[in-house]
Amino acid sequence: MKLKIGLAQMDTVLGRGEENRRRFQELLEELAGEADLVLFPETWNLGFYPQKVSQLAEGEGETTKSFVAGLARRHRVNICAGSIAEGEDGKLYNTSYVFDRQGELIGCYRKIHLFTHGKEHHHFSAGSRPGLFTAEGITWGQLICYDIRFPELARTLALAGAQVLLIPAQWPYARLHHWRTLLMARAIENQLYVIGVNSCGTMVGGRKACGHSLAVDPWGEIMAEAGEGEETLLVELDLARVEEVRREFGVFTDRRPQLYALEEDTFL
């Protein structure tokens, strides 16, 4: 099976939900005619993250979900809407929603690892469940930005059957090398496709997200890479390649998980 994935590297504007939705639609329309699924950056609706994000997000969540569902239905394309800042029951979450070609919600993942270095935990509550969904006959895994620094989560998704990891982000220039390296590492160690879509907009404190959205194959080879500005990419994934790499290089069959838990007598 082959699938075409659209990468929408977007210049998000802090706190400007209506403006960001307009640009979201324009980028989607560049890709929707050919892509089977389109991925957008992290917190694209409000940026990462404006002052008074809690108040802004309270009304943004449902508005944005309805907006994306309508676009998915109109263009008959699966959309992984990056992630959005949304409020629920007095808490704020960094949530990735996926809508199918009929505009139905088929995936929901709330960011598990909050970026304490950037004080994300001062504003957002952490999710508690890994992100998996099924579309186009395969299983997809979801991570959000900082999650890629935790290989255990990516491995959990791979063991649950994920053949593609979708990773929206707001990643800064200062750690561009980490972004590229971590995406390739997650692909290599789990022998699956990794699609990372970053923003190129202004972040809190005036920093800029670095762009460089990437598609990486199960052998760790870069299939496509964006530059630093707003851009769309289209890549074709051959899902047979996942099984081919796993069959030829038996990482999963050679695992010894019964030895991975440390006990008192582990070391002599």
Q: Which of the residues are catalytic?
A: 42, 111, 145
Query: Residue 2: phi, psi to the nearest 5?
Result: -120, 140
Chain mean position to CA 69: 18
Whole-angstrom distance between the N-terminal and C-terminal Cα of the chain?
49
Strands (E), the chain: 2-9, 37-39, 78-80, 84-88, 91-99, 105-110, 131-135, 138-142, 164-169, 193-198, 214-216, 222-225, 231-238
Q: What angle do CA 194, 198, 200 make, to 5 degrees?
A: 160
Count Cβ atoms below 10 Å from residue 162 Cβ, excluding itself.
25
3-state secondary structure 26-43: HHHHHHCCCCCEEECCCC
